[in-house]
Amino acid sequence: MPTFYGREIASRLMLGTAQYPSPAVLADAFRRSGAGIATVSVRREAGGEQAGQDFWTLIQDLGVAVLPNTAGCHSVREAVTTAQMARELFDTNWIKLEVIGHADTLQPDPFGLVDAAEQLINEGFEVFPYCTEDLVLCERLVAAGCKVLMPWGAPIGTGLGLNNIYGLRSLRAHFPEIAMVVDAGLGLPSQAAHAIELGYDAVLLNTAVAKAGDPAAMAEGFARAVEAGALAAAADPMESRDMAAPSTPVLGKAFL
Amino acid sequence: MKIIVNGEAVETTSLTLAALLTELGKGDAKVATSLNETFVPKTLRAAQSLSDGDRVEVVAPRQGG
């Protein structure tokens, strides 16, 4: 099972907490998913509201590790300040670091990401960087002190799956000692299974479950998929080949 | 004095960030704060004075992906 910054988590599924039809559906989806980590955020709260406290109580009842994010931050300063506020609110050094570089694709800003990661690691944060599958970027993040990498499968919320399988496979091979998570862009359990088959330690998703017609059933689908992927990855898969090779013995076939 | 709280103009007599939170009904709430884009830890709110035109952010736990 994956270990992030020395903490072993009993599931390869990390699940977001946004966009569910209701808190009850969210809780049900988490139970069926078996997810060991929930991503959360910090947002403004209007005077008199207690939504933040209510949500926090719900998350605590799930009994999972909490990974706050810096979603929506487009500058290093925003991301760093958001991370500092999240650390106090959620009482954890873990931070899913997002520094968004492009409003349409929500593609990470690689330059700002490295800068923010360096600042936060200097302050004792344990950074989970939401990044692309760019090898040079990931080398910089690891050099900055990141012990986890979270390359995207596809842009957030698209459900397109693994857009660059070669890049993800190559990245996995370059960082055998780093915990790696495919974060964002997954739409179906089969895509999650594929990510784990490639050797990734976990997947992180939100929309695929929250926006399914039956979020709890989809959550269980993803849970089974990552288990299947892990079994396959450990079972030494066959080499693929271009030419057909009969599986039924040729020798002994009746001569008709 | 007039300050900005979560993007909205607010007229306040509070002289510190801690007093402002109490005035907003958030004295004991699970919130985190920043002043002029800089994080202010809970332990420093009582010592953090406010000035006219300050920008305060008050955030709480929320759903996220």
Which pLDDT band holds residue A207 (cuts at 50, 70, 90)? very high
User: Nearest by CB to B64, which of A41, A45, A88?
Assistant: A41
Q: Which residue of A has its CA nearest to B10?
A: A47
Detail the DSSP E strand segments found in chain A. Answer: 3-4, 7-8, 13-16, 37-44, 65-68, 94-97, 126-131, 148-151, 179-183, 202-205
Report H helices in B1-65. Answer: 17-23
The pLDDT score that the predictor gives to residue A15 is: 98
CA distance B51 to chain A (A): 20
pLDDT band at A49 (very low <50, low <70, confident <90, very high): confident
- Cross-chain residue pair B60–A207, CB shorter than 8 Å: no
Residue A48 has pLDDT above 80, yes or no: no
Q: For chain B, which residues score pLDDT lower than 50?
A: none
Q: Which residues of B touch A47 (CB under 8 A)?
A: 24-26
Whether A211 sits among the annotated catalytic residues: the reply is no
To which residue do tokens 């103009």 refer?
Answer: B9
User: Is B39 touching A (CB cutoff 8 A)?
Assistant: yes
* pTM (predicted TM-score): 0.94
Neighboring chain A residues of B40 at a CB cutoff of 8 Å: none
CA distance A149 to A180: 5
Q: How many CB atoms lie within 10 A of CB A216?
A: 20
Which residues pair with residue B2 across a beta bridge? B11
pLDDT of the residue at A126: 98
Residue A47 and residue B5: Cα distance in Å, rounded? 10
Q: Which amino acid makes up residue B22?
A: T
Look at residue A69 in the predicted model and tell me its pLDDT: 98
State whether B61 and A78 contact (CB < 8 Å): no
Q: Answer yes or no: do A46 and B37 touch at CB < 8 A.
A: no
Q: In A, which residues are within 8 Å of B33 by CB distance?
A: 85
Q: What percent of chain A has pLDDT over 70?
A: 99
pLDDT by residue (tens digit) across A143-183?
A: 999 999 999 999 999 999 999 999 999 999 999 999 999 99
pLDDT at res. A50: 82
Tell me the chain A residues in contact with residue B58 when contact means C-beta distances shorter than 8 Å.
Answer: 44-45
Q: CB distance from B14 to chain A under 8 Å?
A: no
Say how far apart CA B12 and CA A208 lie, in whole Å.
Answer: 45
- Taking residues A186-198, report their average pLDDT: 98
Of the candidates B37, B60, B62, the beta carbon closest to that of A77 is on B37
What is the pLDDT, as a whole number, of residue A47?
64
What is the arithmetic mean of pLDDT over A20-31? Answer: 97
pLDDT at residue A46 is higher than 80:
no
Paired sense of beta strands B55-63 and A37-44, if any: antiparallel
CB distance B6–A42 less than 8 Å?
no
